[in-house]
Each structure stands twice: as structure tokens, then as C-alpha cells.
Amino acid sequence: MTDGPRLVLASASPRRLELLAQIGIAPDAISPADIDETPRKDETPRAYVARMAAEKAACVALAEPGVVLAADTTVVAGRRILGKPEDGAEAAAFLRLLSGRRHRVLTAVTVQSGARARHRLVETTLRFRPLSAAEIAAYVASGEWRGKAGGYGIQGRAAAFAPWMQGSFTAVVGLPLAETAVLLESFGIRAPHGTGESGT
């Protein structure tokens, strides 16, 4: 169980729930935020993703007591924000755009309790190898693109697409664990066996 105040996860993402479990934190409640996720005119990707996380947290904090954890992840190609594809055709178009080039994944995290809120934004850069039409078609047919920014999930089959990454793997999945653990600790919620990511 999580030590400290009541924790509310403002997300229906099973990936974020699994990531929290990795560091021994289990939310007391899950309450997805219902907000308009349309980017504003001329809004930069960094401003957009930070606003989304903050608005999700503020929305849920109005209805839920305790500490609210919200996050938003977006994929950025150049200055173009690649959200969740509407259908398989858009997912394929995103993958063709990302094929053979670098792109950024931005994940913003907001932790809020009452009027107090803290924020972090983590940027990770990835490079996809060139993808063939057959690879793109097979990935789209797998359905893994559904509900995922940029039309791919790095924790699944798309791991084979990215030979190079600089930044946080868990941020690309949907929640940067090291930064999130520090934010939660500042609100009195501690992982039972230390905080942060580990690896070799």
C-alpha cells in the first residue's frame, strides 16, 4: 500500500497504473479528467503538454479529496503535435512521418492537493530507423497504436523501431518515474522501497 495521504490518479491509462506499481505506489482512486485536449492556436508543444497535465489535475482536484497525480504525453515531429490517432490510417501516417528520423516525446506531470500544485516536464528524444510499408501495415494491424500519442507504444512492438533514445524510457511510456516519485514525496507520498528509476 501507498504510505501517506490519499492518492488519486487522474488517468485511465493502464500503463501509468503499471508504472506506479513498479515503484510500489498504488492509487486509492482512479478518476480520469474530462477536459478539452485541443491545442490552442500557435501553442508550442511544451506549453500544450504542460497545460494539459495542469488542467487534468485541477479538474480532478475540484471533485476528489487528497493528492491528485495527472500526466500528459505527446509526440512531437518538428513543431507538429502528434496526438492519439483517430484511426488506423492516421496511425500509419504518423509512423511514415516518424520513419527514419528523430522526434521528441514530451511528458508533463502535475501533482496537486488543494490549491498547491507542482509540475515537471520531461523531454526524451528518439530516433526511429526507416520503416517499410509492410512493417507499418503490420504494426497498424496489431492495434497497438490505439490510444497512444504518436500512434505507437514504445513498451510493445515499437521497441524494435527505436535503436536510439536519449532521456527517460518511462516518460515515453507515459510517466517519468524518477521525477514523479520526487513530486509525490513532496506531498507526503513515498514509495515503500526508495524512489526513482534504476538500471545498468
Q: Which residues are catalytic?
A: 72
**Could you tell me which residues come within 8 angstroms of residue 78 by beta carbon, excluding any fewer than 6 positions away?**
none
SS (H, E, C) the chain: CCECCCEEECCCCHHHHHHHHHCCCCCCEECCCCCCCCCCCCCCHHHHHHHHHHHHHHHHHHHCCCEEEEEEEEEEECCEEECCCCCHHHHHHHHHHHCCCEEEEEEEEEEEECCEEEEEEEEEEEECCCCCHHHHHHHHHHCCCCCCHHHCCCCCHHHHHCCEEECCHHHHHCCCHHHHHHHHHCCCCECECECCCCCC
β-strand 80-82 against 67-77: which pairing, if any?
Answer: antiparallel
